[in-house]
Structure 1
Amino acid sequence: MIMQKEYDIVIVGSGVAALAFANYILEAKSSFRIAILSKGELPNCNTAIAQGGIAAVTNFEEDSFEEHIEDTFQAGGRVGKIDVIRRVVCDAPARLNDLVRWGVPFNRQQGVFRLHREGGHSKHRIVHYLDQSGKAIHESLLNRLQQHNKIDFFENHTAVDLIRSKNQCAGLLTLDEKENWLQFKANTFVLCGGGSGALFEQTTNSAYSTADCVAMANRIGLNIRDFHKTQFHPTALSLKNQNKLPLISEAVRGFGAHLLNHKGERFAFKYDSRGELAARDVLAAAIFQEMESENVDHQYLSLQHLDQEELKTHFPFIHRTLLSNDFNPTRDLIPIVPVAHYQCGGIEVNAEGRTSIENLFALGECAYTGMHGNNRLASNSLLEAVAYAYYAANTILNSSIINAANLRELKLETTRYSDNGKAMVLMASLQSLMTKMFHHKDDFGFLQTVSTELLKLNSLYEDLNLQSKLAQELRNRLELADIYLESVMKEASKDNLFYA
């Protein structure tokens, strides 16, 4: 028998979108019972490792909403939804004030926000806490929720499937920390499961960034839009034989760091007049081009000319990370490589974060709002997540709560054997295939061979135990690879969109 649990709202994910949404709900209606499911332990999410900060216009003497809107639109290849961009940018100061009210200790100087400038931004407008803004936001929001007696946290729970009944989401099927089945029933479900960086060979993301919410949404017929638009961050610390690489925030380039090739040339200005402060897609493409020209697997970031005490003061976490990996920024060139960082596409939602199913919402990186276009502007992700958390919460609070359909008891097959070693080999093959798709997106012949390879991998998956978290994740990865390939092939005849 499968254990069942019932709540007013069930949230999948524990990053900024999930936590901000829960805070907005409970501030207005403290009687709501909420469950938050985390694939790992609560701090193990992309929000907690985000470095840069949140983009918001706060100095109206030197900056404006129109400039932030234009920077966002331009970074996205001028294909983002301008009405979405305008709404989120203009709401940014209010959402920033919410974070301050919830206790986030953003850095200030003489009482005003200390602002960074990052790639693609024409002005200094990044509100931050040192170089660990995400951690500060995550801890502040989580601490507030942990004091509330109407909220339950389920760590190490893997979301497996959404249960659809006509145009309602009737339930959620999960595996708990001991790989026992669990069913959740709720009036409202909110997907905040993050992006897909861990599907690639190398990423800045946590190991849990496998886009499970996108796969679940796809299986119940929701529209997945622009899933191929994966943003590669230009400057991850290049380390051998590692999947997760440390990020070196572009705020460091805003502080004055230089990109150098193996000849010692500062090459960024060859590709864009903004040099090291060009948007991420431009710099990632430039670095890949320089790597190919020199037949090398990395390029360099130079910090040697910077004030080292100031560098250490403003970027203490990055400084410690470099030293712990035997790189001294005073004397060493820092090897960097572009790696998978952010998913610009996802589950299509409306202006309130609602999917095409009336009681199912999607927020944060797993959702497609249209704000980012082909390429996300730096530090707009935390902003979009908090903004849409606010929109979704207000929609739910100001509407009649839907009584979800009756949740039927599922009978699940649990007798197949588990072969985690085989699953890990298949996952590594998929990571390699996803990375190759990214780099060979214009080669239609290659994409056809990928289709054949995916059929082979799917056949190898069939005999794995369904009551295994690893097997469920592999199932999602195979499905997401199919979605990615379909999206890539759909765009194969169009202009290059893919360092975006």
Structure 2
Amino acid sequence: MRSRHHLHDVLIIGSGAAGLTLALNLADTAKVAVLSKGALNEGSTWFAQGGIAAVLDDNDSIEAHIEDTLNAGAGLCHESSVRFTVERGKAAIQWLIDQGVSFTKQQDGPDYHLTKEGGHSHRRIIHSADATGRAVHTTLIEKVQKHENLDLFEHHIAVDLLTQPDTRSGKVRCSGAYVYNRNQDCVDVFQAKAVILATGGASKVYLYSSNPDSASGDGIAMAWRAGCRIANMEFNQFHPTCLYHPKAGSFLVTEALRGEGAHLKLPNGERFMQRFDERGELAPRDIVARAIDHEMKRLGSDCLYLDISHKPAEFISEHFPTVKARCLEFGIDITKQAIPVVPAAHYTCGGVVVNHHGQTDLDQLYAIGETSFTGLHGANRMASNSLLECVVYAQAAAEHIAETLGNIDAPGKAPAWDDSRVTNSDEDVVISHNWDELRRFMWDYVGIVRTRKRLERATHRIKLLQKEIQEYYSNYQVGNDLIELRNLAMIAELIIRSAMERKESRGLHYSLDHPNNSSIARDTILVPTNFAAQEIFVRS
């Protein structure tokens, strides 16, 4: 199949909340392409349950939300980024409401129902029952499908970014991407004046994850290969409560259950969280995840339990219909029984270094959402700040792109993808084996609790794997699994390198060799040998 060449004003790689918000904010003035790895309704946004944090109640305040976020971030949040995000929270929620998102309202009035989650000092989580991500994503998908200026490309996965010299500035700029077209089994060329990475996180680098299979860190890996700095990849958030059942896959049990009074219990029915933190079940996620991990290892237990059955059945059914229905599929009635749970990789707090406009080190390349490192999350993301970040930074990036797009020349035509020296593989078992090995040693050696010896073992294994993967990539036709495996291996290396550099325990990075906090809080910033910036990039 002959590859095709596409030219747009804006190329958005990713179709979650961040990518679609950006698309809708630019579509009236620019020709926009949106790439989706699978169907539009796949990806992490669709599965987000809890809600979106924003100051919407008169008893709450901007300063309280900022303080809660800084506390959860264990000293590594960038206060300017936290304030930038929180101050724009109410407007971001109003924009979603204007698009048609149906958030849950109070039973006795027109006001929206707000819930409380771990780390928050006030009820500030606006939600749509326990399926907020689906409500937001469905609404945005309906909007983009109706817009004539938006070209949607489902089942397209980016392979690598394109760069070229810019005649006006004399710098290197991003001009598009090579994209594997899964529908036609070929690599197409997509070019644009501005390119945005909105590819989500990288939690599939771990064996157990709450994320869909698409969370393979594609945008972070591509940006690194193109010369962009990456920060704080050692901070991988493990959600404390994912459903433990051999057939459940990666089903997350929303933190809102604990916000509404659910208790974490040992197999004998005993509560235990007060022994780890005075906030009990409402402690930040890193503390809760480590506590569960500790008790599971101490007891040799396969799982622990989350129990909300002491609440009225009507209350549970109204507030948590998705969790109730999913658990019933496996014979668990949460109105009467505790839910078996385990921690699982959930959110990538690090990513591609950006400023408040979402700009990366590479001209005309932006990164938004979980792909980016804005400084908002620090060493531990506070619950429900992620969807807020998606909308706020997508809007900020859209404003900057709209202001500057008229001064950007169309890129020169890039060469077609060259696959003349590769063949079809008859050894795809290599991909599946390496995929499994990678995720297993990352779980065992670079998981919730780390040691120097475990990280050294991981370093040795990732070098061997990357050599095998690169050899395979150089000789055979690309496909979805190979592209994701190549990116996951790159992500694993970045996580391991970052963890090796941090000689302390802070937030989501806990080391038995360095159990205490350092007196100085520093970001871990990795700089590629082909660093793209012509001058040192400064956060605005």
What TM-score do the two structures reach when normalised by structure 1?
0.96
Contact 1:168 1:404 in 2 (8 A): no
Q: Helix, strand or coil for the counterpart of 2:194?
A: strand
In structure 2, the residue matched to 1:371 is 376
Contact 1:414 1:467 in 2 (8 A): no
**Structure 2 residue 472 is matched with structure 1 residue 463:** yes
Contact 2:446 2:496 in 1 (8 A): no
In structure 1, the residue matched to 2:334 is 329
Distance in structure 1 (CA, Å) of the matches to 2:351 and 2:400: 21
Counterpart of 1:424 (choices 420, 425, 432) is: 432
For structure 2, list consecutive stretches of 5 or more residues without a partner in the other structure. Answer: 166-171, 511-540
In structure 2, the residue matched to 1:451 is 459
Contact 1:131 1:315 in 2 (8 A): yes
Counterpart of 1:218 (choices 221, 224, 239) is: 224
In structure 1, the residue matched to 2:492 is 481
Distance in structure 2 (CA, Å) of the matches to 1:327 and 1:409: 56
Q: Helix, strand or coil for the counterpart of 1:390?
A: helix
In structure 2, the residue matched to 1:311 is 316
Q: Helix, strand or coil for the counterpart of 2:204?
A: helix
Superposition RMSD in Å: 1.6
CA-to-partner distance for each residue in 1:137-172, whole Å, 9 max, x for gaps?
111111111111111111111110001124201221
Distance in structure 2 (CA, Å) of the matches to 1:447 and 1:154: 39
Distance in structure 2 (CA, Å) of the matches to 1:423 and 1:382: 33
Distance in structure 2 (CA, Å) of the matches to 1:440 and 1:335: 19
Distance in structure 2 (CA, Å) of the matches to 1:459 and 1:93: 48
Deviation, structure 1 residue 418:
4.5
Deviation, structure 1 residue 198:
1.4
**Structure 2 residue 495 is matched with structure 1 residue 498:** no
Q: Helix, strand or coil for the counterpart of 2:88?
A: helix
- Paired AA for residue 39 in structure 1: K
Deviation, structure 1 residue 48:
0.8
Counterpart of 1:49 (choices 47, 51, 66) is: 47
Deviation, structure 1 residue 306:
1.2
Distance in structure 2 (CA, Å) of the matches to 1:124 and 1:437: 37
Contact 2:499 2:509 in 1 (8 A): no
In structure 1, the residue matched to 2:4 is 3
Q: 1:404 to 1:39 in 2, by over 3 A?
A: same
In structure 1, the residue matched to 2:523 is none
**Structure 2 residue 236 is matched with structure 1 residue 227:** no
Q: 1:430 to 1:404 in 2, by over 3 A?
A: farther
For structure 1, list consecutive stretches of 5 or more residues without a partner in the other structure. Answer: none
In structure 2, the residue matched to 1:354 is 359
In structure 2, the residue matched to 1:201 is 207
Distance in structure 2 (CA, Å) of the matches to 1:325 and 1:34: 43
Q: 1:421 to 1:83 in 2, by over 3 A?
A: same
Q: Helix, strand or coil for the counterpart of 1:391?
A: helix
Contact 2:34 2:153 in 1 (8 A): yes
Distance in structure 1 (CA, Å) of the matches to 2:456 and 2:52: 40
Deviation, structure 1 residue 417:
2.1
Counterpart of 1:187 (choices 184, 193, 196) is: 193
Contact 1:78 1:373 in 2 (8 A): yes
**Structure 2 residue 162 is matched with structure 1 residue 156:** no
Deviation, structure 1 residue 442:
3.8
What percent identity do the matched residue pairs reach? 35
- Paired AA for residue 315 in structure 2: E
Distance in structure 2 (CA, Å) of the matches to 1:137 and 1:68: 22
Q: Helix, strand or coil for the counterpart of 1:306?
A: coil
Distance in structure 1 (CA, Å) of the matches to 2:423 and 2:17: 38
- Paired AA for residue 75 in structure 2: R
Q: 1:440 to 1:85 in 2, by over 3 A?
A: closer
**Structure 2 residue 248 is matched with structure 1 residue 251:** no
Distance in structure 2 (CA, Å) of the matches to 1:31 and 1:330: 50
Q: 1:83 to 1:31 in 2, by over 3 A?
A: closer
Deviation, structure 1 residue 434:
1.5
Distance in structure 1 (CA, Å) of the matches to 2:53 and 2:327: 26
- Paired AA for residue 245 in structure 1: S
In structure 2, the residue matched to 1:293 is 298
In structure 2, the residue matched to 1:126 is 125
Contact 2:212 2:250 in 1 (8 A): no
In structure 2, the residue matched to 1:381 is 386
Contact 2:448 2:508 in 1 (8 A): no
In structure 1, the residue matched to 2:535 is none
- Paired AA for residue 334 in structure 1: I
- Paired AA for residue 470 in structure 1: D
Deviation, structure 1 residue 112:
1.0
Q: How many residues align?
A: 494
- Paired AA for residue 273 in structure 1: E
In structure 1, the residue matched to 2:271 is 266
Distance in structure 2 (CA, Å) of the matches to 1:120 and 1:499: 18
